[in-house]
Amino acid sequence: MYYKPIIGMEIHVELKTVSKMFCGCKNDPFGADKPNIYTCPVCLGLPGALPVPNRKAVEWAVLLGLALNCEIPLFSKFDRKNYFYPDLPKGYQISQYDQPFAVRGFLDITVGNEKKRIGITRVHLEEDTGKLMHATVDDPTSPSGLRGASKKVSLIDFNRSGVPLVEIVTEADIRSSEEARIFLKKLHQIIRYLEISDADMEKGSMRLEPNISVQKIQSRLNRDKIQKLPPYKVEVKNINSFSFAKKAIDFETDRHIAILETGKYPQQETRGWDEKKGVTFSQRSKEEAQDYRYFPEPDIPPIRWSKSQISNFKALIPELPDTRIARFIKEYGLSEYDATVLTEDKKTADYFEKAVKSKTIPAKTVANWIINKKADISKLSPEGLVNLIQAKTQKLPMSEKDLEEVINKVLAVNSKAVVDYKAGKESAIMFLLGQVMRQSHGRADATTTRKILENKLK
């Protein structure tokens, strides 16, 4: 009996538009130096206020959908997701339910040496909530009349309320925590390439929620094929790094297997991730699952695209990592490894291309300098890097006399190798050649040196 994890991901990403999703307030919750300074009647949910969608945010959601190979339905709409929480000022979140901006896409990843396709169920747009802070504050009204009396309060900061948020939902195609990590890294990379979000997980502008279940299988073969999903799943929230996502999935997988071993199924629930203890903990069980009473948002007209608009969007997508890797290999003769490292983020890849444009230095050399971090590219311009490499690698041809001198020196101090060579050990000449190269600081020409050596040792 074997077990295989079945994993789907939900990822929330805050878009870095100038203004919020449905109002003109500044979209900079992390840069705000005070709470509740970027607010207005709309994002505070005041009576009578109405949402007006941010065109840029809508376009970016579509762009992300296209970058994830999704279909863009010509008709889309916003819906209300009704639930109560103090950080949700309207009592509902404007989201998308059954007709999101992008559907049925995929992302190809490489696991080990194998290519694998992860299905993208949907990409939709919604608004972020405010932020709750639980604090203890001075309480001058305390009946005890004691100085320094305090009370526990919950404070709400609406700077984040109404920030545009895209949600990406995958199919349950992921089969290991490592696949999940690779998928998430690649998704993160694409989002950064599109320049639609900082996708900073520490700040919470990218949030990860794996949905995990484990299935018993009879054989190790056909690991990827599943007949029927297990009758439960566990959603883990509050994860803010790729490695925590991996750890949480591993923790859950082990937990589920232990339960399945007893002949039971794990409970369907939402769990939180405790990064200090490295464990998940129960937050909400299925019995408490909410009915969000979705219905079409009557304050926002549906969105209708023309086919030409969609093709215009396609033209806006920059070259994405996979295409760029292939082109770097083909165009610059780089190894797959070098091309992959250089394209990890768009800035480095752009930097590389600027540096090789002058064609004064071979692309491989430039790549080597960038990858091995011989130069700090955050401080040096691409032109500066080219100049630096030129200065450091310029070769003055060695005069024959100088070369002769170096060779003689090498032969004098390496008598053992000389003896070895004469005794028929041909490889000894390579050792001597190497010594000459070293002594000449690489200035010696290898072919000439070898010829001279062979003559001298005859």
Enumerate binding residues for other proteins (CB under 8 A): 41, 44-53, 80, 82, 84, 86, 89-92, 291, 293-295, 298-301
Give residue 381's Cα distance to chain centre: 25
DSSP states along 242-271: HHHHHHHHHHHHHHHHHHHHTT--PPPEEE
Contact 17, 53 (CB under 8 A): no
Pick the closest to residue 372 from 408, 341, 350, 398 (CA basis).
Answer: 341
Q: How far is the CB of 303 from other proteins (least distance, A)?
A: 11
According to DSSP H, which parts of 196-343 are helical?
242-261, 307-316, 321-332, 336-342
Q: How far is the CB of 47 from other proteins (least distance, A)?
A: 4
Q: How far is the CB of 83 from other proteins (least distance, A)?
A: 9
Q: Which is nearer to other proteins, 31 or 47 (CB)?
A: 47
Cα torsion through 47, 298, 73, 170, rounded to 10: 50
Q: How far is the CB of 48 from other proteins (least distance, A)?
A: 4
Q: Which is nearer to other proteins, 154 or 282 (CB)?
A: 154
Q: Which is nearer to other proteins, 75 or 143 (CB)?
A: 75
Q: Which is nearer to other proteins, 295 or 337 (CB)?
A: 295
CA-to-CA dists, residue 37 to 46, 69, 162, 164, angstroms = 16, 38, 13, 17
Q: How far apart are CA 256 and CA 3, in angstroms?
A: 10
Q: How far is the CB of 40 from other proteins (least distance, A)?
A: 8
Q: Structure tokens of 26?
A: 């500044």
Based on its alpha-carbon atoms, the radius of gyration of the chain, rounded to whole angstroms, reads: 31
Q: How far apart are CA 398 and CA 443, in angstroms?
A: 6
Pick the closest to residue 316 from 140, 194, 458, 133 (CA basis).
Answer: 194
Q: How far is the CB of 313 from other proteins (least distance, A)?
A: 21
Q: How far is the CB of 320 from other proteins (least distance, A)?
A: 32
Q: What are phi and psi of 254, to 5 degrees?
A: -60, -40
Q: Which is nearer to other proteins, 300 or 329 (CB)?
A: 300
Q: Structure tokens of 116?
A: 């694998």
CA-to-CA dists, residue 52 to 115, 196, 206, angstroms = 42, 20, 24
Q: Which is nearer to other proteins, 91 or 397 (CB)?
A: 91
Q: How far is the CB of 294 from other proteins (least distance, A)?
A: 8
First-last CA distance in the chain: 70
Q: How far is the CB of 194 from other proteins (least distance, A)?
A: 25
Q: Which is nearer to other proteins, 94 or 363 (CB)?
A: 94
Q: Which is nearer to other proteins, 58 or 334 (CB)?
A: 58
Contact 86, 132 (CB under 8 A): yes
Q: Which is nearer to other proteins, 99 or 240 (CB)?
A: 99
